[in-house]
Amino acid sequence: MIIIMLGAQGTGKGTVAGLLSEKLGIPQISTGDIFRKNIKEETELGIEANKYMSKGMLVPDDITVPMVAKRLEMDDVVDGAILDGFPRTIEQAKKFDEMLAAKGKKVDLVVNLTTPRDEIIERILTRRVCSNQECKATYNLIMHPPKKDGICDKCGAKLVQREDDSDESAINKRLEIYDVQTSPLVEYYEKRNVLRKEEISSRINRLGDKVASDLIEYIKESV
Protein backbone atom coordinates (compact mmCIF):
# COMPACT_ATOMS: atom_id res chain seq x y z
CA MET A 1 0.00 0.00 0.00
CA ILE A 2 1.27 3.45 -0.95
CA ILE A 3 0.11 6.26 1.34
CA ILE A 4 0.91 9.94 0.91
CA MET A 5 0.74 12.43 3.78
CA LEU A 6 -0.23 15.98 2.77
CA GLY A 7 -0.39 19.05 4.99
CA ALA A 8 1.70 22.09 5.80
CA GLN A 9 4.79 21.75 7.98
CA GLY A 10 3.85 21.35 11.62
CA THR A 11 0.47 19.70 11.03
CA GLY A 12 1.74 16.43 12.46
CA LYS A 13 2.43 14.48 9.26
CA GLY A 14 5.51 12.87 10.76
CA THR A 15 3.72 11.82 13.93
CA VAL A 16 0.72 10.34 12.13
CA ALA A 17 2.93 8.68 9.50
CA GLY A 18 5.06 7.12 12.25
CA LEU A 19 2.00 5.66 13.98
CA LEU A 20 0.63 4.31 10.69
CA SER A 21 4.02 2.80 9.86
CA GLU A 22 4.09 0.98 13.19
CA LYS A 23 0.55 -0.39 12.81
CA LEU A 24 0.74 -1.28 9.10
CA GLY A 25 4.30 -2.61 9.09
CA ILE A 26 5.47 -0.48 6.16
CA PRO A 27 8.23 2.16 6.31
CA GLN A 28 7.73 5.87 6.75
CA ILE A 29 9.76 7.74 4.16
CA SER A 30 10.41 11.38 5.00
CA THR A 31 11.98 13.57 2.35
CA GLY A 32 13.24 15.80 5.16
CA ASP A 33 15.19 12.85 6.57
CA ILE A 34 16.48 11.97 3.11
CA PHE A 35 17.65 15.55 2.58
CA ARG A 36 19.33 15.76 5.99
CA LYS A 37 21.10 12.42 5.47
CA ASN A 38 22.48 13.58 2.12
CA ILE A 39 23.47 16.95 3.57
CA LYS A 40 25.26 15.31 6.49
CA GLU A 41 27.09 12.92 4.16
CA GLU A 42 27.83 15.86 1.84
CA THR A 43 26.63 14.06 -1.27
CA GLU A 44 26.37 16.10 -4.45
CA LEU A 45 22.58 16.21 -4.19
CA GLY A 46 22.79 17.00 -0.47
CA ILE A 47 25.02 20.01 -1.03
CA GLU A 48 22.62 21.36 -3.65
CA ALA A 49 19.57 20.68 -1.47
CA ASN A 50 21.11 22.55 1.47
CA LYS A 51 21.40 25.72 -0.63
CA TYR A 52 17.60 25.84 -0.72
CA MET A 53 16.67 24.34 2.67
CA SER A 54 18.90 26.75 4.60
CA LYS A 55 16.83 29.61 3.13
CA GLY A 56 13.47 27.96 3.81
CA MET A 57 12.93 27.37 0.09
CA LEU A 58 11.43 24.34 -1.66
CA VAL A 59 14.09 22.02 -3.07
CA PRO A 60 13.77 21.76 -6.92
CA ASP A 61 12.41 18.60 -8.55
CA ASP A 62 15.70 17.74 -10.25
CA ILE A 63 17.20 17.27 -6.78
CA THR A 64 14.21 15.90 -4.87
CA VAL A 65 12.94 13.26 -7.31
CA PRO A 66 16.29 11.41 -7.74
CA MET A 67 16.69 11.24 -3.95
CA VAL A 68 13.21 9.76 -3.47
CA ALA A 69 13.61 7.38 -6.42
CA LYS A 70 16.80 5.99 -4.90
CA ARG A 71 15.07 5.45 -1.54
CA LEU A 72 12.16 3.62 -3.17
CA GLU A 73 14.55 1.09 -4.67
CA MET A 74 15.42 -0.29 -1.23
CA ASP A 75 14.13 -3.71 -0.14
CA ASP A 76 12.00 -2.50 2.78
CA VAL A 77 9.43 -0.82 0.51
CA VAL A 78 8.39 -3.97 -1.33
CA ASP A 79 5.05 -4.09 0.56
CA GLY A 80 4.46 -0.35 0.45
CA ALA A 81 5.48 2.92 2.06
CA ILE A 82 4.16 6.06 3.71
CA LEU A 83 5.47 9.20 2.00
CA ASP A 84 5.90 12.19 4.30
CA GLY A 85 6.88 15.37 2.46
CA PHE A 86 6.65 14.05 -1.10
CA PRO A 87 5.23 14.90 -3.54
CA ARG A 88 5.04 18.65 -2.91
CA THR A 89 4.07 19.85 -6.38
CA ILE A 90 1.78 18.66 -9.17
CA GLU A 91 4.84 17.93 -11.31
CA GLN A 92 6.33 15.75 -8.57
CA ALA A 93 2.99 13.94 -8.22
CA LYS A 94 2.89 13.17 -11.93
CA LYS A 95 6.49 11.90 -11.89
CA PHE A 96 5.68 9.77 -8.84
CA ASP A 97 2.63 8.27 -10.61
CA GLU A 98 4.91 7.37 -13.51
CA MET A 99 7.49 5.80 -11.17
CA LEU A 100 4.79 3.68 -9.51
CA ALA A 101 3.10 2.67 -12.78
CA ALA A 102 6.44 1.36 -14.05
CA LYS A 103 6.46 -0.97 -11.03
CA GLY A 104 2.80 -1.94 -11.40
CA LYS A 105 1.77 0.11 -8.36
CA LYS A 106 -0.33 3.19 -7.60
CA VAL A 107 -1.14 5.65 -4.83
CA ASP A 108 -3.76 3.98 -2.62
CA LEU A 109 -4.50 6.71 -0.07
CA VAL A 110 -3.69 10.40 0.37
CA VAL A 111 -4.24 11.95 3.80
CA ASN A 112 -4.56 15.74 3.96
CA LEU A 113 -3.98 17.15 7.47
CA THR A 114 -5.11 20.69 8.36
CA THR A 115 -4.21 22.78 11.42
CA PRO A 116 -4.71 26.51 12.28
CA ARG A 117 -1.69 28.58 11.16
CA ASP A 118 -0.79 30.02 14.58
CA GLU A 119 -0.84 26.53 16.07
CA ILE A 120 1.44 25.28 13.30
CA ILE A 121 4.06 27.95 14.02
CA GLU A 122 4.02 27.20 17.75
CA ARG A 123 4.39 23.47 17.06
CA ILE A 124 7.39 23.95 14.79
CA LEU A 125 9.19 26.29 17.18
CA THR A 126 8.73 23.80 20.04
CA ARG A 127 9.50 20.67 18.00
CA ARG A 128 12.48 18.50 18.92
CA VAL A 129 13.81 15.42 17.14
CA CYS A 130 16.02 12.52 18.17
CA SER A 131 19.61 12.98 17.02
CA ASN A 132 19.89 9.22 16.43
CA GLN A 133 19.19 8.75 12.71
CA GLU A 134 18.15 5.15 13.32
CA CYS A 135 15.41 6.37 15.68
CA LYS A 136 14.29 9.82 14.44
CA ALA A 137 11.51 10.08 17.06
CA THR A 138 9.76 13.46 17.16
CA TYR A 139 8.60 15.36 20.24
CA ASN A 140 6.93 18.64 21.09
CA LEU A 141 7.90 20.49 24.25
CA ILE A 142 4.27 21.50 24.86
CA MET A 143 2.05 18.79 23.37
CA HIS A 144 4.27 15.70 23.49
CA PRO A 145 7.35 16.32 25.68
CA PRO A 146 9.93 13.62 26.42
CA LYS A 147 9.83 12.01 29.87
CA LYS A 148 13.33 13.33 30.56
CA ASP A 149 14.20 16.81 29.35
CA GLY A 150 16.34 16.72 26.20
CA ILE A 151 16.48 12.92 26.04
CA CYS A 152 14.65 10.57 23.63
CA ASP A 153 12.24 8.20 25.38
CA LYS A 154 12.87 5.45 22.84
CA CYS A 155 16.66 5.26 22.52
CA GLY A 156 18.12 7.66 25.09
CA ALA A 157 19.87 9.84 22.51
CA LYS A 158 19.99 13.63 22.72
CA LEU A 159 17.05 15.63 21.34
CA VAL A 160 17.85 18.54 19.06
CA GLN A 161 16.07 21.38 17.32
CA ARG A 162 16.42 21.38 13.55
CA GLU A 163 18.10 24.49 12.25
CA ASP A 164 15.17 25.30 9.97
CA ASP A 165 12.72 25.02 12.91
CA SER A 166 14.23 27.86 14.96
CA ASP A 167 13.60 30.85 12.66
CA GLU A 168 9.98 32.06 12.63
CA SER A 169 10.48 34.11 9.45
CA ALA A 170 11.82 31.03 7.64
CA ILE A 171 8.86 29.01 8.94
CA ASN A 172 6.39 31.56 7.57
CA LYS A 173 8.19 31.47 4.24
CA ARG A 174 7.91 27.69 4.11
CA LEU A 175 4.17 27.92 4.86
CA GLU A 176 3.69 30.51 2.10
CA ILE A 177 5.50 28.24 -0.36
CA TYR A 178 3.24 25.36 0.70
CA ASP A 179 0.09 27.40 0.09
CA VAL A 180 1.19 28.32 -3.42
CA GLN A 181 2.89 25.14 -4.65
CA THR A 182 1.62 22.21 -2.60
CA SER A 183 -2.01 22.84 -1.72
CA PRO A 184 -3.11 22.23 -5.36
CA LEU A 185 -2.23 18.58 -4.73
CA VAL A 186 -5.41 18.32 -2.67
CA GLU A 187 -7.49 18.89 -5.81
CA TYR A 188 -5.18 16.64 -7.85
CA TYR A 189 -5.74 13.64 -5.59
CA GLU A 190 -9.36 14.49 -4.85
CA LYS A 191 -10.11 14.02 -8.55
CA ARG A 192 -8.53 10.55 -8.29
CA ASN A 193 -10.82 9.60 -5.39
CA VAL A 194 -7.96 8.71 -3.06
CA LEU A 195 -8.04 11.79 -0.78
CA ARG A 196 -9.12 11.74 2.87
CA LYS A 197 -9.20 15.01 4.85
CA GLU A 198 -8.40 15.09 8.57
CA GLU A 199 -8.29 18.06 10.96
CA ILE A 200 -5.62 17.77 13.63
CA SER A 201 -5.67 20.45 16.33
CA SER A 202 -5.39 20.83 20.08
CA ARG A 203 -8.34 23.23 19.93
CA ILE A 204 -10.70 20.37 19.16
CA ASN A 205 -8.72 17.85 21.21
CA ARG A 206 -7.94 15.80 18.10
CA LEU A 207 -4.25 14.99 17.89
CA GLY A 208 -2.01 12.54 16.03
CA ASP A 209 -2.89 9.36 17.91
CA LYS A 210 -6.64 9.85 17.37
CA VAL A 211 -6.21 10.67 13.68
CA ALA A 212 -3.94 7.65 13.16
CA SER A 213 -6.40 5.37 14.96
CA ASP A 214 -9.28 6.54 12.75
CA LEU A 215 -7.17 6.10 9.63
CA ILE A 216 -6.27 2.52 10.58
CA GLU A 217 -9.96 1.69 10.91
CA TYR A 218 -10.68 3.37 7.58
CA ILE A 219 -7.92 1.39 5.87
CA LYS A 220 -9.15 -1.90 7.34
CA GLU A 221 -12.64 -1.21 6.04
CA SER A 222 -11.39 -0.14 2.61
CA VAL A 223 -9.03 -3.05 1.89
Active site residues: 13, 88, 127, 162, 174
| Residue type at position 58 | L
- Residue 66: is the preceding peptide bond cis (ω within 30°)? no
CA distance 49 to 46: 5
Pairing of strands 138-140, 81-84: unpaired
Distant-in-sequence, close-in-space partners of 38: CB < 8 Å, separation ≥ 6: 45, 46, 49, 67
Query: For residue 180, what are the CA distances in angstroms to 35, 53, 122?
Result: 22, 17, 21
CA distance 32 to 110: 18
88: nearest Cα among 167, 9, 201: 9
CA distance 16 to 213: 9
| Beta strand segments in the chain, E | 2-6, 28-30, 81-84, 109-114, 127-130, 138-140, 159-160, 195-199
